[in-house]
Amino acid sequence: MPKLSISDAAEQLGVSREAIHNRIRRGSLQSVVENGVKLVIVDDEKSAQTVSRKMDNKKLPNQTDERYYKFLEEQNVKLQQKVETLEGETRTLRDQKERMLIEERIKIEKIYKEKDEQLKNIINAISSKFMLNSTKNDTQDELFEAEIEEKTDEESLENRRLISLNKYLKSGDFSKKKISKIKEKFQEKAKDDSRIITIGKKYYIDVQKYDYSDLM
């Protein structure tokens, strides 16, 4: 059996110097002292087994690393496929959302267009009715004027002086805003002012007899 120094024995067995000393103390390794130097007696067979195990242990991590790297590559491929699938689904959902928004916008525009048409029809109807009522009122005023003028001779002189407020304002140079204010004043004073003659809902004035400048 060969005799090796502590350092050589540690290198051959693949352990530390401390491990060699521990084995000597436990008696698992034999040692001798020659010329003041402690030498370790190493069994060649055990040494060969130790070296073999050491080599196997070195190979094992490499094999493990290869399998681990292969596993990582497979997982990476799977993750890449999942990412591509999710990106495709995301594009599909985005396209669907855009189509829905376009369809909703078209529906809203159609609704507003229909509402605009309905509103126009309502305004036209109201305008037509207003014009009809205005014409009707003018006709009534004219008929009433004619009726007043056809009164008896006893009343004719006084009645011929009467003129409807509307007719008087139309014949004068008054703006629409001014006419509106004058009518409001007549409406406020009609009950208490003897100058204003009220027949039905119409006001009549006698400009030859009275002065209406305070109301005009």
Distance separating alpha carbons of residues 180 and 93, to the nearest angstrom: 63
Assign 32 to helix, strand or coil: strand
* pLDDT confidence of residue 133: 61
Q: CB under 8 Å to 187, separation ≥6 — which residues?
A: 203
* pLDDT confidence of residue 38: 86
* pLDDT confidence of residue 145: 54
Residue by residue, pLDDT tens for the chain (216 residues) are 678 888 888 888 888 999 988 988 888 888 888 888 888 888 765 554 554 455 455 555 556 678 888 888 899 989 999 999 999 999 999 999 999 999 998 989 888 888 888 888 888 778 776 666 655 555 555 555 555 544 433 344 345 578 898 888 888 788 888 899 999 988 888 888 889 988 888 889 988 888 888 887
Spell out the domain ranges in the chain.
3-63, 161-216
DSSP class of residue 120 equals H
* pLDDT confidence of residue 176: 87
* pLDDT confidence of residue 143: 57
Q: CATH for 3-63, among 3.30.70, 3.40.1010, 3.50.70, 1.10.10?
A: 1.10.10
Distance separating alpha carbons of residues 86 and 94, to the nearest angstrom: 12
- C-alpha to C-alpha distances, 194 to 26, 159, 203, nearest whole angstrom: 143, 15, 12
